[in-house]
Each structure stands twice: as structure tokens, then as C-alpha cells.
Amino acid sequence: MFARIAGVGSFLPGQPVKNDDLIQRGVETNDEWIFSRTGIRARHLAAANCTSSDLALEASTRALAAAGIEASDVDLIIVATSTPDFIFPSTACLLQAKLGNHGAMAFDVQAVCSGFIFALSVAEKFIRSGSHKKALVVGAEVFSRILDWDDRTTCVLFGDGAGAVVLEASEKPGILATAAHADGSHHGILSVPGSVCGGKVIGDPFLRMDGKAVFKFAVRVLADVAQECCEVAGVTSAEIDWLIPHQANIRIIESTAKKMGLGMDKVIVTVDHHGNTSAASIPLALDVAVRDGRIQRGHKVLLEGVGGGFTWGAVLLEF
Ligand code: UT7
């Protein structure tokens, strides 16, 4: 029994905000700096009243339609997010209510930009165990809420969005292998080091990042975990049809592809359109490539992510 992707969907809120548009918002930056270092041209920013569960609902509705099933058919909902609507209940439960699903197991996964990989890995275990049959796995973020718009080294890099897949039990091949890791000793290089206590924010409620340290760490672990996942599945990198890396930075993406011996013609890149959408970035890119026909049934696709924690992981699947 495999866990197989039955449908994919994604959603980006509003109109693209181009790099130079950020200048009008008071950010001292320019398109050349942002594009040359990151490959980002634009990002989408959710309206003030739009939450992660709202974005998740749009992406999920599209994934359910692509899978040809109803929300009521789903028996497991996992949302990967670091920007939940509330402290509790989980964004997955709020999404469940919006979808009109009653009774499915629903919970959030918090692994920042690796969140979708972690959530997909967890859902796969539930399905392969036989306990659940149809899972909705979502990455949804409103990172614009945790950006310090006075910190140009971070605010230009992130955006809002959501992506979702329906995963179902199948005798046909689906997920072939997963690999995921964390090392909390690196928590300080990418974090939002604040909390709520007694009605007040304690600490810092904004995203803080040591960009150079994150860059070095990401390049190393992404190549390692990609190789580990391929070895578990007994698949060589030459057999991979598509690589879908976390969409944070084109230079990290290119470096990982090079280490794996893959040409950029085998790599799905959407970071230029939406910047770093954290847990949403991998399903967003997957949806684009499925809908434009590049990824076809039977193709071997390697998904991989890295993020705060530090966390990192990969999923190898036959689509
Ligand atoms: O999910 C993981 C998420 N994180 C990442 O993927 C981030 C990984 N890291 C990176 O992508 C890069 O480290 C950055 C893009 C964040 C920064 O690139 P860099 O080449 O490491 O730049 P830098 O920190 O060395 O900054 C160089 C200069 C500085 O000016 P001075 O001190 O040399 O005069 C900055 O003040 O660039 C300046 N700068 C900017 N200029 C225009 C910093 N931010 C901006 C900006 N626009 N937005």
C-alpha cells in the first residue's frame, strides 16, 4: 500500500507586489539587489483580515477538486504553518470547520519552511499504517505578519500563500521514501523569538535571521538529505525527473541541483513569483508544475525543504 497524491492545489492572495513596489512601502531597497541575491521578483501579501486558514481553504478546495473528492471524504487534515490563525485551536481545525468536514483527525505541524515535508511524511505514515485513507496536507502561511518592515535584510524575502495535496491510499506507487531531521542547537540563526504572556508580547515578535549562516547550513543539509532519501528508495539522482526544492533563494536551489548532478531544466522554480512562502512554497511549486503539464503521472519527483529549528527533510515520490 502506498500513499499517493490524488490532487494538488494552491493559492496566492491579491496582486503581486514587485521588488520596486517595496520602495513605495518605505523599504530602502531595489530590484537589482533582491533579484541578484535571491531570484525573487515579486511576492503576494494577504489583506489584514485574511488568515492562514483562509489561504489554506482556497488551496484545499482546488486540491479536493483536482482529486475529485469531497471534503467530507477526508479522514486526516494536517496543516504545516508557523503563522497560525490563533495560538489554539489549530489552523487545521479552523480549516476543517471552513471545509465543513466533521470528525477527521486534524492538527498542525510546526517545522517552519520544512513544514510541508514533515506534514507529508507524517500523513504518509498514517496512510501506510492503514488507519487513514484520505489525507489533506496543506502548507499555509501569512509570513507578512511576522516581518519587521524596518529590517530590509529580511522583509524583502518572504511572502504569503498556500499549497495543498490530497494524499490517498493506493496500490499504485506514490511516496517511495521520506527523510527528515532537526537540530535545535541552531535555533538562533532563524527565529521569531517572542511569545505571548499575560496579554503582552514578551521578547521579539518579528522574524530574525542570520542570512549567511542560514545559506551555508541550507546548502549542506539539502544535498545530504536528498541523497539520503534517494538511497532509502534505491533511486539514483539520474532517475529523478523533477526536483522541487523549498523556494527561498535561487542560489541555494542552484547549488543543491549542482551537488546532485541535476541540470536546472529538471528543477521547478517559482521563487521569482512569490518569494519565500515558508511551508507553502513546495506545494505551490508542485501545483504550478502539475497544472502546466511538466510533472506527469509516473514521474519521479524529489521534494526537499529546510527551515528554522533547524529542520530539514525530503520526500521522494512517483507522481
Ligand atoms: O527558508 C530559509 C530562508 N532563508 C534564506 O534562504 C536566506 C539565506 N540567505 C540569503 O539568501 C542571503 O544571505 C541574503 C539574501 C539574506 C543576503 O545576501 P548576502 O549576499 O549575504 O548579503 P549581505 O548580508 O552581505 O548584505 C550585503 C549588503 C549590506 O550592505 P553593506 O553593509 O555591504 O554596505 C546590506 O546592508 O546589502 C545590504 N542590504 C540591502 N541592500 C538593498 C541588505 N538588505 C538589502 C536590501 N536592499 N533589501
Q: pLDDT, tens digit, for every residue of 153-177? A: 999 999 999 999 999 999 999 999 9
What's the pLDDT score for residue 76?
Answer: 98
Give the residue, by CA position, lying nearest to ligand 1 atom 17.
211
Distance between Cα 20 and ligand 1 center (Å): 16
pLDDT band for 240, please (50, 70, 90 cuts).
very high
Distance between Cα 273 and ligand 1 center (Å): 19
Give the residue, by CA position, lying nearest to ligand 1 atom 39.
153
What's the pLDDT score for residue 176?
Answer: 98
> Which of 151, 209, 215, 276, when mutated, tests ligand 1's pocket best, judged by the most ligand atoms within 8 Å of its CB?
215
Report CA dihedral (18, 20, 24, 25) to the nearest 10 degrees: 60
**What letter would DSSP give residue 158?**
B
At 82-105, the pLDDT tens digits run 999 999 999 999 999 999 999 999
What's the pLDDT score for residue 199?
Answer: 96
pLDDT band for 35, please (50, 70, 90 cuts).
very high
- For the record, the C-alpha cell of 139 comes out as 502548507
At 49-92, the pLDDT tens digits run 999 999 999 999 999 999 999 999 999 999 999 999 999 999 99
Give the residue, by CA position, lying nearest to ligand 1 atom 30.
153
Mean pLDDT in residue range 99-126: 98
Q: What is the pTM of this model?
A: 0.97
The whole-angstrom separation of Cα 81 and Cα 262 is: 30
**Under 8 Å between Cβ of 100 and 65:** no
Q: Which residues on adjacent β-strands are paired with residue 110?
A: none
**Under 8 Å between Cβ of 301 and 241:** yes
Say what percent of the chain tops pLDDT 70: 100
pLDDT band for 290, please (50, 70, 90 cuts).
very high
**Under 8 Å between Cβ of 302 and 244:** yes
For the CA of 29, the nearest atom of ligand 1? 47
What's the pLDDT score for residue 297?
Answer: 98
Residue ranges lining ligand 1, Cβ < 6 Å: 29, 33-34, 37-38, 113, 152-153, 156, 209, 211-212, 214-215, 248-249, 252, 276, 307
